[in-house]
Amino acid sequence: MQPSISQKDRIVSLDIIRGLALFGILFINVPAFVMVVEGMVLPKSTSVDQWIDLLINIFIEKKFFSMFSFLFGFGFYIFTSRAEQRGDNPRKRFARRLIILFLFGIVHFFIFFGSILVPYALIGFFLLPFYNLSTKAISKWLTGIVSLFVTAILAQMIFGTDMPIAKYVTNDTLLIFIMFLAGFLTAKADWVRHLGNYKRQIWLIQLITFALSVLSSVFIWKSGDGNEPLQMLDLQLNALAMTPFYLVTLFSLLEHRWLQKACMPLARVGQMALTNYVAQSIIGLQLMAWMGIEFPTSREAVLIACMIFGIQVIFSVVWFRFFRMGPLEKLWRVMTYGRQGKIVKKAS
């Protein structure tokens, strides 16, 4: 869900990571495509399913959706700064873009009740006051919000999960906003384009976040005994540690041109993230219907996720041979600017 910019101005690594994030999100969303109703017989979980669930909790749960949120915040800066360069009102234009995303989300709710589009649109409005702040001021805000979030998590882990104020703070809404703001700050500071200047800092971030990721992963493993409230806190703490590790490592690796080139199919998926995100639920429900699956086991969910993403990689690569943006991206652009534009690629 990124702004539409010309191919030559794109940061390819953003599209690749966005495509990868969409893949990871599938492992969480596939079971959620089916709404559990009273009387539904759920499949029995085997030891293999339990190991898959543990691995997903440690390496994927909340991490890939946090990466996606980070990239949304990054895209907010790209969109608003380019709007300002054109002499447009950046905040009004982005507000209109969020309203349209909200409408898309309402429609998507009828297909997938767990759609993230409406929450993204609503939380996105809280980014608007930060647009004119300096990177130093944004850093202070981000540090303060993260500190509050971590303190509330640790307080519940130490004193118990029945703390009303702490419960209110430690929810996915605030985690999404933290990632939005982190992405916005990263884009405004232009760190991604100058990674070579921050090698020592990158190494330090990787070292610290890796250590915290291992520690929080142990907590997840230990809390996998039916204590769901505690495990949710562990997952949030793990996401705060592992998401930066993933992002910094991926951005660093993708400095290599050969790797960027090898990952271009992922970039194509990421370039039409809105279309692919919405399509995932449609394809997933259809696949489960064809396979006769009422509710997927963890093994089946992994298989279906891989099938969906394989379809989307092929479709996205073929689509961009003829068009320069995805269909929903095109509609989003037209509704944002109120004017038509050519979607078909010009002959080179």
In the predicted model, what is the mean pLDDT of residues 278-283? 98
- Tens of pLDDT along 234-251? 999 999 999 999 999 999
Mean pLDDT across 274-287: 98
Q: Please compute the mean of the pLDDT values over residues 20-33 and round it to a whole number.
A: 97
Q: What is the pLDDT of residues 124-158, one digit of tens each?
A: 999 999 999 999 999 999 999 999 999 999 998 88
Residue 5 has pLDDT above 50, yes or no: no
For the chain, which residues make up each domain, given as ranges?
7-34+42-337
**For range 46-59, the mean pLDDT:** 94
- Using CA atoms, how far residue 80 sits from 103, 188, 325, in Å, is 20, 11, 19
Residue 1 has pLDDT above 80, yes or no: no
Instruction: Express each pLDDT in 323-342 by its tens digit.
Output: 999 999 999 999 999 864 44
CA gyration radius, the chain: 20
DSSP string, 97-145: HHHHHHHHHHHHHTT-TT-SHHHHHHHHGGGGGGTTS-HHHHHHHHHHH
Q: Is the pLDDT of residue 311 over 70?
A: yes
CA atoms within 13 A on the CB side of 44: 2
**What is the three-class DSSP state of 323?**
strand
Mean pLDDT to the nearest integer, 201-222? 93
Q: What are the CA-CA distances from residue 339 to residues 270, 314, 332 (Å)?
A: 24, 30, 11
Q: Residue 216 has what pLDDT?
A: 92
Q: How confident is the model at residue 165 (pLDDT cuts 50, 70, 90)?
A: confident
